[in-house]
Amino acid sequence: MIKTISYPKVNEWPKLMQRPVVNQSSLYELAETMFKEIQQDGDVAVSKYSQKFDGTLYNFSPIGIDVIDKAESKVLVSLKKSIEEAYHNIYKFHASQQETVKKIETTQGVECWRESRPIDKVGIYIPGGSAPLFSTVLMLGIPAKIAQCKEVVLCTPPDKNGEINPIILYVANLVGIHKVYAVGGIQAIAAMALGTESIPKVDKIFGPGNQYVTAAKQIAQLYGTAIDMPAGPSEVLVIVDDTCDPEFVAADLLSQAEHGPDSQVILLSNNGKVIDDVNQALIKQLEKLSRKDIAEKALQHSRAILFESIDECINFSNSYAPEHLILAIRNTEDKIGEIQSAGSVFLGNYSCESVGDYASGTNHTLPTNGFARSYSGVSLDSFVKKITFQTVTEVGLKNIGPSVELMAEAENLMAHKNAVTIRLNKMNKL
């Protein structure tokens, strides 16, 4: 059961929006120490920390193609069919994001356009602990493939026997990733950011992870490696009215709560009875979960809030900026324009978040911790660079040059002005 707050005043909202706080100062110190050691000692340091934190030795090489090929036989046929269906939908949605080059004449004789180029080397981190997220291999591997990234490196922690979950290997092979390394945690992020004797240095790192991985990704940026986005514990905010199905809503809240004890779920409504009904459904469904203990811990810092209206609920949501937003209300289409900050939005009683997590086609790698106010989720654009081009003819320079001269002189950048003036003077002499 989650705690209910009724009709909070606007000045009380910031407190209600607080996420679970984790003291990361010690994590950053650990990550910095490990980065420095891996930068100096490479694979030896990676293996040292793999043994220390995961209880396995890193074997200084990628997983063999034969091991990857054999993994397919260990995956149920029914699961492979489901994964292939998800692959198709995710591929179709992300392929639709490819842009056609548009050349624009901004002034007569001046033409500008933009083209995409793939990021050459990308690294993908896939958690492999209590819930090996093979679905994230699809979410990150597919757009990397469409973008035509030249090299894709995948790191994921092995089990106690030093083996990688066969489903992860099967999906990696399906999306065309063949450089797979059995290493996790901070040491995996550092290896991809810095490069070691066996693990290539990459230009950008993608993927979710625990607080250690999150800290490591932040440190990676200091070493010149980009990351997909700031990440934190997973979260969902659900807005409901009397048209919702309380059992559906409870299931959605629990599906997020089972991610981890630091996950957060928020329920907003204009109807107190609906909140009570959802709480009763939560109690019943919680008892049947295999990850009950994890979900219970997440619910301890989650909350339900009763507002006067759905519009007020949406205003709160926009300020909270949830990773996932579910609208189980009447006339959801009418409210789309009011949604300003959210990672991914699910409309209606049957649009459960689980569908987006796995197979609808949208990407499930999304901004958390309020970063949806300024970041988008992963898309095809995340794997490409946008380069602008321009062509200026003699006519174009005659048209736009005098303005450039005046602006450059006003900024006291006379060499900038001169680059135009020399050309104009030569044209005038011809």
Euclidean distance between CA atoms 360 and 350, whole angstroms: 12
Euclidean distance between CA atoms 192 and 205, whole angstroms: 8
- Which one of the listed residues 259, 301, 324, 364 is annotated catalytic? 324
Residues shown for the chain: 430
Q: Residues of 392-422 as b/e, b for ≥16 C-beta within 10 angstroms?
A: beeebbbbbbeebbeebeeeeeeeebeebbe
Question: What is the longest distance spanned by two Cα atoms in the chain?
Answer: 87
Structure tokens at 107: 């002034």
Euclidean distance between CA atoms 50 and 114, whole angstroms: 43
Residue 94 makes CB contacts below 8 A (sequence gap 6+) with 142, 143, 146, 361, 363, 379, 380
Measured in degrees and rounded to the nearest 5, phi and psi for residue 256 equal: -85, -40
Among 347, 334, 339, residue whose Cα is nearest residue 372 = 339
Euclidean distance between CA atoms 190 and 153, whole angstroms: 13
**324 part of the active site:** yes
3-state secondary structure of 252: helix
Answer whether 241's CB lies under 8 Å from 375's CB.
no
Q: Radius of gyration of the chain from Cα atoms?
A: 25
Euclidean distance between CA atoms 145 and 378, whole angstroms: 14
- The single-letter DSSP state of residue 228 is S
Q: Angle 272-286/246-257 helices, nearest 10 degrees? A: 60
- Which one of the listed residues 235, 258, 323, 405 is annotated catalytic? 323
- The single-letter DSSP state of residue 422 is H
Answer whether 59's CB lies under 8 Å from 182's CB.
yes
Among 252, 262, 314, 318, residue whose Cα is nearest residue 285 = 252
Map tokens 């059995």 to a residue. Answer: 182
Q: Which residues are catalytic?
A: 323-324
